[in-house]
Amino acid sequence: MNGWRLFSRGFRYRPPGVAETQLDDLNAEIARRLRADDRYVPSTTRVAGKFAIRPCYINPRTSLAEVDALADRVREIGDALTASAADAPGG
């Protein structure tokens, strides 16, 4: 078991121009869509009272490319959600 690590880190998608009060709902929706895609299934948590997406990597064969791909997918979903909110009336 030498060299194995359990890695879990909470993070938030936080685009410029989105109010702090909206970030919990935005990140919860991102997490929901990630799970619906069925490729990424991160858990969620609260850190200092704020909603966070929390992947947990326990497979020693997980590559940096796979970790980066999750971050890329979070950005894709978040960017799409914030763009559609900006296009909505009153957005």
pLDDT digits (tens, 9 = 90+) for 17-69: 999 999 999 999 999 999 998 888 999 999 999 999 999 888 888 888 999 99
Dist. CA 88–CA 91, nearest whole Å: 5
Q: Say how many domains are in the chain.
A: 1
Average pLDDT over residues 6-22: 89
CATH number at residue 67: 3.90.1150.10
In a domain, 90, yes or no: no
* Cβ neighbours of residue 12 closer than 8 Å, sequence gap 6 or more: 23, 27, 50, 51, 52, 53
In a domain, 11, yes or no: yes
Dihedral angle computed from the Cα positions of residues 17, 47, 45 and 79, in that order, rounded to the nearest 10 degrees: 20
In a domain, 79, yes or no: yes
pLDDT tier at 1, thresholds 50, 70, 90: very low
For 30, the domain range is 7-83
In a domain, 70, yes or no: yes
Would you state the pLDDT for residue 90? 62
Dist. CA 1–CA 4, nearest whole Å: 6
Would you state the pLDDT for residue 2? 53
| 4 pLDDT above the threshold of 60 | no
Do the bridges between strand 50-54 and strand 56-57 make them parallel or antiparallel, or are there none, so unpaired? unpaired
